[in-house]
Amino acid sequence: MDMGGRRIFGYRHAIVARDQVFLHEGISPLSWIGIASQTGWVSLSQGKSESAADCIQRLCEVFVGAVPTLLEGLSHDLPEPEVRAWRSTFTIKHHRKNGFTVLLIESAELRDAFRNKASWEVPTSIIPEGLRQVDSRFAIVQDPSYTRESSDALAMRPAYRHLRIESTG
């Protein structure tokens, strides 16, 4: 579910073999008929929120019900990706309502590694409370020997599981 940007909300699925290995992404009712990769609602009449939510629930039920048939007979022996150690400094740009914080990447080398992106989103819960103010600077360390323990499902995603936040001063 996407509840930001130009639309009120958007909806799509992905089938993933393991983290960052997509068998197919952007699966949605509009993509089923060849129109778009994400089904979205740009406007919603007042009082129609509940019926829109029911529609999305039915669409999800159809897709999730079809997944076992779609995956029947498929398997993989893909290894888990190697976790590389690195350390870089970031600055908090702003917080999103979806539990993520947008960080400015200060290192040109890391921006290159992130495909020339100037920002990166991380779960807010991995940032110590004393460092969560906008414009705070800190280092993020990706340490293969560190594994996060958290009840926050966002923080336990493979992309964030080995990250530690350290104060820069």
Interacting residues of 61 by C-beta distance below 8 A, sequence separation 6+: none
| First CA to last CA distance, the chain | 38
Report the alpha-carbon distance of residue 33 to residue 26 in Å, rounded: 13
- Taking 70 as the threshold, does the pLDDT of residue 38 lie above it? no
- Taking 70 as the threshold, does the pLDDT of residue 42 lie above it? no
Report the alpha-carbon distance of residue 92 to residue 137 in Å, rounded: 7
Phi, psi of 36, rounded to the nearest 5 degrees? -155, 170
- In this predicted model, what pLDDT tens digit does every residue of 103-155 receive, in sequence order? 999 988 888 887 788 889 999 999 999 999 999 999 999 999 999 888 888 88
- Taking 80 as the threshold, does the pLDDT of residue 96 lie above it? yes
The answer, as to whether pTM is greater than 0.75, is no
The answer to whether 134 and 104 are in contact (CB under 8 A) is no
Kindly report the CATH class assigned to 86-167. Answer: mainly beta
Residues of the chain with CATH 2.40.50: 86-167
Q: Which residue has the tokens 């309502």?
A: 97
- Compute the mean pLDDT over every residue in the chain, rounded to the nearest whole number: 83
The predicted pLDDT at position 124 comes to 95
